[in-house]
Chains A and B, each alone.
Chain A
């Protein structure tokens, strides 16, 4: 138990670097660069205020990603519970600060960035589930009693995030948890029952738990044109921007909807719209394809991994990442309600960039240390 942390494993640093998933790094770099270009355009052809800061964060995030990737997976295995409980503690801190501050405060100001504990919590939940499922057998997964702990692992942060209140993030944590349950081999019937239960709960939740603004978002999603200047404005303008892009787009820096500010939140939640308005179906499809490659790469890493913790972690983080992609792009296209989810690696924002790169760091750590002996 002496020497630098990187040397704990059987491989030297050079070997590890060689084993690093440079293909995935390249994919991440390409996607992030698309983000820089989009942010440059969002600012009307200027590096300020978004693109330059986003690049700084990306560089810092990449360094963090490499460090995380190079640390042996065993260490991460050991750090799961501390990470999980620190995450819970931060959520409680935010909740208490929120009561002191104004309304729904979701972040902690660290000075150089605003940290959203809920984003970090998503990773912590995936790690906790991976650790819990790691020793499980196929038979364990069939026992409902065995699934009580994972349910608690998921529902405690969900409850705290709901208090913020942030319905979108809580739903994403639940979905990520459900995805991991599926991966871990839970019965298909469990999911059928779960969906049925959700269908039953919706009317109750609608009447007792949802805030007005949340109800409005759902209503707007169902019929955006009903309120084109109010809540439906975002989605209507986003669809106009996407549609006007056509096959080959309006051209870089030529997207009128975003340049003339008809498109709201163009640098954060609606950045995909800006990209597809300017680059058209061609550019949009390329981005979707790049995301698909990322997913496949992660699945390949998981399948190559020789311990269940690594498989669960890689797949869980990939699911987490993909949920962002689906929810964000589905939202800007009017397929899903506007929930305020960023497009990972592309949307302007420190936390989401950091969370995505931390996730990929862990996935790469799984890959580099696929042969590590993770204790049960």
Chain B
């Protein structure tokens, strides 16, 4: 009986303990439930964020770069199609054998295969690898047809900047290139692999406008980073279309003409509006090579060429304006009342100032000349005499009024300031006092005086438009349309009668027998142009050379004179202004004037001022 009672007691004990156990388990489940509630309710949003961070990658979508067109809408920089062939490693058993098979269809280098294999090891298996880009349409077709035998391969179309005018617009339009560390700013686009930004020219200056805005795609990724689906796509906005005032064909014509010289540059602009029609610098380069890959030997050649093909000499080149500066001196003289139609000087071939002897370019002199004849024949002695009376300050003031001596605020940042020397500059430059001899050489555009071809064109424009302070511009964006620019430029303090005297001299330079550019005249009265030659000394002509009668063209190329010309057409109703500089071209009348004649004739033939896209005619 004892055992039965004991067993009953034990049964009760077991039941009691079982209930305690059940209670403990309930408590444990309660803890688990509480923990679950804490994670899912109290911390839910935190973990939800972490979960989204895990799975959502934000991918940037590159915008397409804005195109650049000339005034007629002819494209100067566009996004061409770049056909590529890609391989996805996970879809292939043996990458190398597939690439070998591809070799029988397209030209594929050993090094290309090696780099693909290397890349394949580095990346996740599902990331496509570019096997080759810049494929021709034929090659793409060949690959597409043979795709069943080429597992894992696919073709796609990317964008590539192309410049249809190639070297003709190389300096103005510029080119794009890979982003370097210095250029990285807040725009996250720049960190996108393969993203290109403007490196020179318009591409650089207006990079922000052309670049466009990034788009984003939120993509869901799995634990190894494979994209599973797109969640939210915000499309990119392509960059602005940029319209240049340039006339592409006139630009190409000028560039081709300049290419006949070793090194030259030219500007054609509108005398009234300031619109630049042509900005040419030769030799140039093919900007497309910067995109597709510049062969080393070509790069070396571009870099070391003494004619500086990479520099836009039309705005960055600084030259002594030489005799093209004589109009400015004449206007300074007229303003000061030192010159009128009656003033004459006698040119005997040289001018004596103290002990110093200043030669006229014509050894035996021009005889007696007035201001118009002095311009027509480019008589130095007339201006030597005038300069001594004027002094450097009045000459410098006149030069600055006509746009020399400082940057013009042109859109292209490569613009050089030039130099108009005066007493203050001299003191700051080397602490010495200004000498009258310096005024004398400045009066014929030599000495320290420097101007860019663009400045010389502007100088001419401000004379032929009747004294309006026109400035050059090349992008229509942000500026009033072409036609509305006429008369909007501020009127300068110049007397019309003074300008007319100077312009008469320039007419005679080209159109009067005996003028320095008579050989280059346009016979058709309607198209005839006017202008001024200039011959810039690169180094002083020594007495020995003068006595020996050494001809300048016999010297080394680097020592020959620069040939310059500024002009306008038609002279009866001026519209187009040009400046031409032929580096070491020996003489303005021989080398520069013929170019001016051809490009002004072409400009008048094309008449770019009559049309511009985006403008109501």
Contact = CB atoms under 8 A, between A and B. Distances in A.
Interface of A: 136-139, 179, 182-185, 237, 239-247, 256-257, 260-262, 276, 280-281, 284-285, 288, 291-292, 295-296, 299, 302-303, 308, 311-312, 315, 319, 322, 326, 329-330, 333, 335
Contacts of B25: 292, 295, 322, 326
B14 A183 contact: yes
Contact of B46 (A136, A243, A257, A311): A243
Interface in B214-248: 220-224, 228
B195 interface: no
A295 B25 CA distance: 8
Nearest to B19: A299
B33 interface: yes
B11 A311 contact: yes
Interface residues of B, number: 44
24 contacts: A179-B21, A184-B14, A185-B17, A239-B39, A240-B50, A241-B51, A243-B46, A244-B44, A246-B40, A260-B54, A260-B222, A260-B223, A281-B36, A281-B37, A281-B41, A285-B37, A288-B36, A295-B22, A295-B29, A312-B14, A315-B14, A330-B32, A333-B35, A333-B39
A240 B39 CA distance: 9
Contacts of A239: 39, 47
A256 B51 contact: yes
Contacts, number: 147
B48 A246 contact: yes
B601 to A, nearest CB: 71
Nearest to B9: A138
A333 B36 contact: yes
Nearest to A261: B223
Contacts of B9: 138
A319 B14 CA distance: 14
Interface string B1-39: 001001101110111011111100110110111011101
A312 B18 CA distance: 10
B43 interface: yes
B407 interface: no
Interface string B540-580: 00000000000000000000000000000000000000000
A181 to B, nearest CB: 10
B55 interface: yes
Contacts of A276: 36, 40
B41 A246 contact: yes
A319 B46 CA distance: 35
A322 to B, nearest CB: 5
Contacts of B50: 240, 243-244
Given A239-B47, A243-B48, A326-B28, A182 B55 contact: no
A288 B14 contact: no
A308 B4 CA distance: 12
A281 B40 contact: yes
Contacts of B20: 182
Contacts of B21: 179, 182-183, 299, 315, 319
Contacts of B11: 308, 311
A302 B28 CA distance: 20
A31 to B, nearest CB: 14
B18 A315 contact: yes
Given A183-B18, A299-B22, A285 B228 contact: no
A138 B40 contact: no
A244 B51 contact: yes
A260 B39 contact: no
Contacts of B221: 260
Contacts of B41: 246-247, 281
Contacts of A184: 14, 17
A237 B50 CA distance: 9
A299 B13 contact: no
Contacts of A299: 18-19, 21-22
B47 A243 contact: yes
B32 A303 contact: no
B376 to A, nearest CB: 85
B220 A242 contact: no
Question: Nearest 7 pairs between A and B by C-beta?
Answer: A243-B47, A244-B51, A260-B222, A261-B223, A246-B44, A244-B48, A281-B40
A261 B48 CA distance: 16
A245 B39 CA distance: 9
A182 B29 CA distance: 19
A311 B48 CA distance: 46
Contacts of A245: 40, 44
Interface in B387-405: none
B18 A333 contact: no
A337 to B, nearest CB: 15
Given A138-B6, A246-B48, A262 B54 contact: yes
Interface string B256-288: 000000000000000000000000000000000
A292 B43 CA distance: 25
Nearest to A183: B17
Contacts of A241: 47, 51
Contact of A288 (B18, B29, B43): B29
B343 to A, nearest CB: 91
A22 B100 CA distance: 68
Contacts of B15: 302-303, 311
Given A138-B9, A296-B22, A256 B55 contact: yes
Contact of A308 (B7, B32, B222): B7
Contacts of A281: 36-37, 40-41
B32 A247 contact: no
B357 to A, nearest CB: 87
A137 B6 contact: yes
Given A280-B40, A335-B31, A311 B14 contact: yes
B13 A285 contact: no
Which of A136, A291, A299 gathers the greatest number of chain B CB atoms within 10 Å?
Answer: A299
B37 to A, nearest CB: 6
Contacts of B19: 299
Nearest to A244: B51
B72 to A, nearest CB: 54
Contact of A242 (B10, B18, B39): B39
Interface in B128-158: none
Contacts of A136: 10
A336 to B, nearest CB: 10
Contacts of A182: 17, 20-21
A308 B6 CA distance: 12
A239 B48 CA distance: 10
Contacts of A329: 32
Contacts of B22: 295-296, 299
Nearest to A276: B36
Contacts of B3: 137
Contacts of A183: 14, 17-18, 21
Contacts of B26: 292, 295
Contacts of B17: 182-185
Given A185-B17, A243-B48, A280-B40, 15 more contacts: A182-B21, A237-B54, A239-B39, A240-B47, A242-B40, A246-B48, A260-B220, A262-B51, A276-B40, A285-B37, A292-B25, A308-B7, A311-B15, A322-B25, A335-B32
Contact of A333 (B32, B222, B228): B32
Contacts of B13: 138, 185
A261 B21 CA distance: 38
Which of A247, A296, A333 gathers the greatest number of chain B CB atoms within 10 Å?
Answer: A333
A280 B41 CA distance: 9
B301 to A, nearest CB: 52
B67 to A, nearest CB: 41
A311 B13 CA distance: 11
Contact of A257 (B44, B51, B224): B51
A242 B54 contact: no
A237 B54 CA distance: 9
A81 B37 CA distance: 45
A82 to B, nearest CB: 26
A184 B21 CA distance: 12
Interface string B326-362: 0000000000000000000000000000000000000
